[in-house]
C-alpha cells in the first residue's frame, strides 16, 4: 500500500508545492484547506496526474470538530496516515507596528498558525502511535512548516513572528514526546517564497533580492520547500528528530 500524507493549506502555494513533491514520491495525498471544493479542483487533478489518489478535506484547523472530521475522512478513504504536514497559516490581515497592533489580529494569527496545528498534531500523533504499536515496521513522521520569522524579528507583523516561534518550540516538544515511538518530528523554515501570500510585497522583495539580501539571488519556490519535506518524509534524516531545515537562499547566514 502506498503511504498517505495530509498537507494542511495544501490547495495552493507552499502547501501545493509540498503535495506535488510527495505525490511524485509515491504518496496518496489528502489536502486540508478552507476553500470551496471547486477552487482546489485543478490542484487535485494535477496531483492525480502525478499518480496520487487525491482527497480534499475542507476543514478549518482552528475548529476541533473539523479537525476530527478531516482525520475521519482520511481514515475512511485510506485507512492509514503516515505523514502530517502542518502547513496552513496566515499573515496578519493588516501589517501593523507592534505599538499599534490589535488583540483581534494577534488572536486570529495565533489560532490559525499555532493553536490549530498543535491540536491537529495531538490527534494525528495518537493515530500514528496506534499504527506503530500495531505494526513495528510502520513509518511515519510530522513536519511543521514555520518560517524564518521564527527567529528574524519583523516589528510590523509581530503576531506572525511569535506564532512561528511557537511552531518551532512545538516541533521540539512533539519530537521529545514521540521519540519513544520512533516517530520523528521536524520543522522546515522557508524564507522568501513566491506565493499568493507574498504577492503584495513582490516589488519590495525584488528590490531587496537585487540589492544582495540573499546569498542565492532568487525567489524561493514552493517546490524548494516541497523537496525538503519529501527528503524528511523519505527518511533521509531519520536520526535528526526535532531539527529545523532552513530553506531561505542563505538569507539568515550571518554576514559582515
Q: How would you write the chain as a 3-class SS string?
A: CCCEEEEECCCCHHHHHHHHHHHHCCCEEEEEECCCHHHHHHHHHHHHHCCCCEEEEECCCCCHHHHHHHHHHHHHHHCCCCEEEECCCCCCCCCCCCCCCCHHHHHHHHHHHHHHHHHHHHHHHHHHHHHHHHCCCCCCEEEEECCHHHCCCCCCCHHHHHHHHHHHHHHHHHHHHHHHHCCCEEEEEECCECCCCCHHHHHHHHHHHHCCCCCCCCCECHHHHHHHHHHHHHCCCCCCCCCEEEECCCCCCCCC
Strands 83-86 and 141-145: parallel
Split into its structural domains, the chain has a count of 1
Residue 81, pLDDT > 90, answer yes
Q: Is 239 a catalytic residue?
A: no
Banded pLDDT at 253 (limits 50, 70, 90): very high
Averaged pLDDT for residues 206-212: 96
Averaged pLDDT for residues 70-77: 98
What are the φ/ψ torsions at residue 111 (nearest 5 degrees)? Answer: -65, -40
Whether residue 253 lies inside any domain: the answer is no
Distance between CA atoms of 162 and 89, rounded to whole angstroms? 13
Residue numbers of the domain that contains 182: 4-247
- Catalytic hit among 160, 186, 205, 239: 160
Q: Name the β-bridge partners of 188.
A: 145, 245
Whether residue 215 lies inside any domain: the answer is yes
pLDDT confidence of residue 238:
96
pLDDT confidence of residue 117:
98
Please write the tens of the pLDDT for every residue from 111-135: 999 999 999 999 999 999 999 999 9
Domain CATH number, residue 10: 3.40.50.720
pLDDT confidence of residue 132:
98
CA-closest candidate to residue 212, choices 169, 164, 250: 250
Residue 201, pLDDT > 90, answer no
pLDDT confidence of residue 197:
79
Please write the tens of the pLDDT for every residue from 222-242: 999 999 999 999 999 999 999
Whether residue 256 lies inside any domain: the answer is no
Whether residue 177 lies inside any domain: the answer is yes
What are the φ/ψ torsions at residue 58 (nearest 5 degrees)? Answer: -80, 115
Amino acid at each position: 500500500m502506498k503511504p498517505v500524507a495530509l498537507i494542511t493549506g495544501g490547495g495552493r502555494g507552499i502547501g501545493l508545492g509540498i503535495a506535488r513533491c510527495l505525490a511524485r514520491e509515491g504518496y496518496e495525498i489528502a489536502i486540508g484547506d478552507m476553500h470551496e471544493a471547486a477552487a482546489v479542483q485543478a490542484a487535485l487533478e494535477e496531483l492525480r496526474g502525478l499518480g496520487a489518489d487525491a482527497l480534499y478535506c475542507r476543514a478549518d484547523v482552528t475548529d476541533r470538530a473539523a479537525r476530527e472530521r478531516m482525520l475521519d475522512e482520511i481514515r475512511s478513504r485510506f485507512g492509514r496516515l503516515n505523514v502530517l504536514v502542518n502547513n496552513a497559516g496566515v499573515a496578519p490581515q493588516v501589517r501593523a507596528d507592534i505599538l499599534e497592533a490589535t488583540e483581534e489580529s494577534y488572536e486570529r494569527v495565533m489560532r490559525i498558525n499555532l493553536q490549530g496545528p498543535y491540536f491537529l498534531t495531538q490527534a494525528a500523533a495518537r493515530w500514528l502511535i496506534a499504527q506503530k504499536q500495531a505494526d513495528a515496521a510502520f513509518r511515519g513522521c510530522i513536519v511543521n512548516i514555520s518560517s524564518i520569522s521564527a527567529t528574524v524579528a519583523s516589528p510590523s507583523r509581530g503576531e506572525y513572528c511569535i506564532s512561528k516561534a511557537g511552531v518551532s518550540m512545538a516541533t521540539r516538544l512533539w519530537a521529545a514526546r514521540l521519540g519513544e515511538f520512533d516517530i520523528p518530528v521536524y520543522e522546515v523554515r522557508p524564507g522568501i517564497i513566491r506565493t499568493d501570500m507574498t504577492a503584495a510585497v513582490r516589488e519590495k522583495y525584488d528590490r531587496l533580492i537585487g540589492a544582495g539580501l540573499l546569498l542565492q539571488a532568487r525567489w524561493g519556490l514552493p517546490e524548494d520547500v516541497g523537496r525538503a519535506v519529501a527528503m524528511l518524509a523519505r527518511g533521509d534524516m531519520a536520526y535528526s528528530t526535532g531539527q529545523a531545515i532552513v530553506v531561505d537562499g542563505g538569507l539568515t547566514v550571518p554576514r559582515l
